[in-house]
A and B are shown apart, each in its own frame.
Chain A
Amino acid sequence: DTGVSQDPRHKITKRGQNVTFRCDPISEHNRLYWYRQTLGQGPEFLTYFQNEAQLEKSRLLSDRFSAERPKGSFSTLEIQRTEQGDSAMYLCASSFNRDSYEQYFGPGTRLTVT
């Protein structure tokens, strides 16, 4: 069990550029979540997949954000036309057991928009 992995760990980009992050969940987990964490705050929910279906998106996820999980395995989160306010830690988590609400987080991708 290799745990949840995220790539890249750090990304510095200029305002207006597009960025894409990848998350590989724990292999048997069918649920995948994206969260965003800014300084001094707890993680905030962005979106959720069950297998390949995106079932919910937060109001935090503007039209510039899109997430996919094409084969129900890894997921990507793309931010178009980045803004300085997008600077944050983007966290991915996965879970499986219906009777358990525990989510297991990856190390995160730290995005800095200059």
Chain B
Amino acid sequence: DQQVKQNSPSLSVQEGRISILNCDYTNSMFDYFLWYKKYPAEGPTFLISISSIKDKNEDGRFTVFLNKSAKHLSLHIVPSQPGDSAVYFCAASALFGNEKLTFGTGTRLTIIP
């Protein structure tokens, strides 16, 4: 049972354009959502997060949008840079739990110079 889904295994975007990565979830108990970036042979690096009480959170070039009714979130990167090429994981956590993270399967983002 995949509770967090990233349906696009890969995405290619021209440098300078906007990258949009999508994530869907099924568990209504999730109330905190995170995006991680992963380079080969390294652990995931935290990028940005959003609580279910918000619908948008921005940090520099990264913005996360949350649509609770659709159980959907997205990560926008603008402008995209070559160093953004990596695998991006969406993760979710439930309040009053142990805060364990449930991850999606990842989207490989390639920025084309």
Residues of chain A whose beta carbon lies under 8 Å from any beta carbon of chain B: 4, 6, 31, 33, 35, 40-45, 48, 50, 55-56, 91, 93, 95, 101-108, 110
Contacts and interface: CB of A to CB of B under 8 A. Distances in A.
B10 to A, nearest CB: 12
Given A102-B34, A102-B46, A103-B46, A42 B100 contact: no
A44 B3 CA distance: 12
Contact of B43 (A55, A91, A95, A102): A91
A45 B97 CA distance: 13
Most chain-A CB neighbours within 10 Å: which of B36, B91, B98, B106?
B98
21 contacts: A4-B43, A6-B43, A31-B99, A33-B101, A41-B105, A42-B103, A44-B103, A48-B98, A50-B98, A56-B98, A56-B100, A93-B43, A95-B99, A101-B93, A102-B49, A103-B99, A105-B45, A105-B46, A106-B43, A107-B41, A108-B43
Interface string B45-75: 1100100000000000000000000000000
A55 B98 CA distance: 8
A99 to B, nearest CB: 10
A33 B102 CA distance: 12
A40 B105 contact: yes
Interface of B: 4, 32, 34, 36, 41-46, 49, 89, 91, 93, 98-106
Contact of B100 (A6, A33, A40): A33
Contacts of A104: 46
A102 to B, nearest CB: 5
Given A31-B99, A33-B100, A102-B49, A42 B43 contact: no
Contact of A42 (B41, B93, B104): B104
